[in-house]
Amino acid sequence: MAVETAVELKNKGNEAFKNRDWPTAIEYYTKAINADDKEPAFYTNRAQAHIKLEAYGYAIADATSALDLNPDFVKAYYRRAVANTAILRHADAIHDWKIVVKKSPADKVARTQYDACQKLVKRDAFLKAIEVSDAPSAAEGLDLDSMVIEEGYDGVRLKDEMTQEFIDDMIERFKVGKKLHRKYVFQIILKVKELVYNEATMVETHVEPSQKITVCGDTHGQYFDLLEIFRLNGFPSPTHHYLFNGDFVDRGSWSTEIALLLYSYKWLYPSGFFLNRGNHETDDMNRMYGFEGECKAKYSERVFKLFSESFSALPLATLIGDKYLVLHGGLFSDDAVSLDDIRKLNRHAQRQPGQSGLMMEMLWTDPQTAPGRGPSKRGVGMQFGPDVTKRFCEKNGLEAVIRSHEVRMEGYEVEHDGKCITVFSAPKYCDSTENKGAYINIEADYKLQFHKFDAVPHPDIKPMAYAQNGMMSMMGM
């Protein structure tokens, strides 16, 4: 009887999966496992739903559970390989890809992934070997003054200051697939790199009467959905500030367009337009999830290197009105960490976040419903419970922590007794999740106003079109 019930629950999970409702699918697969914990397929099904939600640590655990039940279950090796590849553990992934290729020699996708993984392991070793801590900037030797804007260039000209006219023209150019002149691309990145480098690690701002600030979560290269936020909510202006909370790039195939538009607004409104760094404003993620490939395809490798330098200069958090700490990932493994520790953190001493420390935790951690702290469902960082959030907010005089970093089916979620808020601004994420997007408006009364919105149509270019390792097909996107 339990077996029949379990199969019924698994089928309901499959139905939810088919409808791209990954959280509901996970709920049903979990119930199926509770009814019959000896069926490896239940674990691999749940692993695939976890992969869709980027809970790669959970996916690895489920695939391993399936293999404990059946060491010959190819699908479990496949799922675990996918999850390890996704969190850049190529050496672990290669072991499982090798087994999949051996057991399923006709599987061309697995063979491609195995070959790609071998190349990535070699490339990682090469990059580590040539790494120089104080490498010269990609701007060295770049002579903007000698770059000529050809007469045939049909866009608005940019001089020494950003203008609304230039931005309006840029928005329309990007809609129809046109690019900016490379001189302007270099100008924008270099100017914004300088601006954000000189900002504090935790920017502190207030909302004055007759002003408002909009907090947006991940946009992930979904340019047309970013324009929908501006259409619904109003464009940035001297009285309408914006904060974009990381993960502007990767996955979506208009990441250069988003980065250049956000950077142009930062240049136009340096004290009223804010950018926090996310875990995807990092080199290793950009290599895996498409931004590096997109920069090279649309502009040049030098453009990617300059973007990389500017990403490592971005602030890691923004404090709004001494009430809301906004950062991409979440809280810390140590209760002793305070806002002053964030203020004192020298982010310029460490360009990439690494595997531990405050910067990594600010970019990677996630909330959990259970008290205390737990292992990361992603396989990177950790998770923090409602008690951790409560203590942090009380110690630092905060009303709440606002973070992004995770898909929420309604675009946002209020957790931890109202003290932890997730906002995610990429609706129909990767064209494969039926989630809404959201943004938060905050006016001078500091009340949070939540707004949800739906995805809008975009040209027929698939997500991660510029990723160079077949991640799309591997993850079933």
Token pair in block for residue 120: 């990535």
DSSP annotation of 465? T
Helix (H) or strand (E) holding 8: helix 2-18
Is the Cβ–Cβ distance between 453 and 229 less than 8 Å? yes
Tokens 């599987």: give the residue. Answer: 107
What is d(CA 147, CA 157) in angstroms, rounded to the nearest whole number? Answer: 13
- For residue 226 the two structure tokens come to 């970013």
Question: Which residue from 239, 198, 234 is spatially nearest to 216, judged by alpha carbons?
Answer: 234
Strands 382-384 and 373-375: antiparallel
| Contact yes or no for 375/381 (Cβ under 8 A) | no
Q: What is the largest CA-CA distance in the chain?
A: 78
Instruction: Report the first-to-last Cα separation within the chain, whole angstroms.
Output: 35
Q: Which residue has the tokens 């030098």?
A: 302
DSSP-derived 3-state class of residue 144: helix
Of 385, 377, 382, nearest to 417 by C-alpha is: 385
- % helix, strand, coil for the chain, step of 5: 50, 15, 40
Residues 6+ apart with CB under 8 A from 64: 76, 80
Cβ atoms of 465 and 439 closer than 8 Å:
no
Catalytic position from the list 220, 241, 280, 416: 280
Q: Is 280 among the residues known to form the active site?
A: yes
Rg (CA), the chain: 23
3-class SS of residue 402 = strand
Q: Could you give the 3-state DSSP secondary structure of residue 233?
A: helix
- Cite the DSSP H helix spans in 252-319: 255-268, 283-289, 291-298, 301-313
Q: For residue 97, which phi and psi values (nearest 5 degrees)? A: -60, -40
Q: Residue 453 is encoded by which pair of tokens?
A: 């919105």
Neighbours of 271 (CB within 10 A): 12
Tell me the catalytic residues. Answer: 280
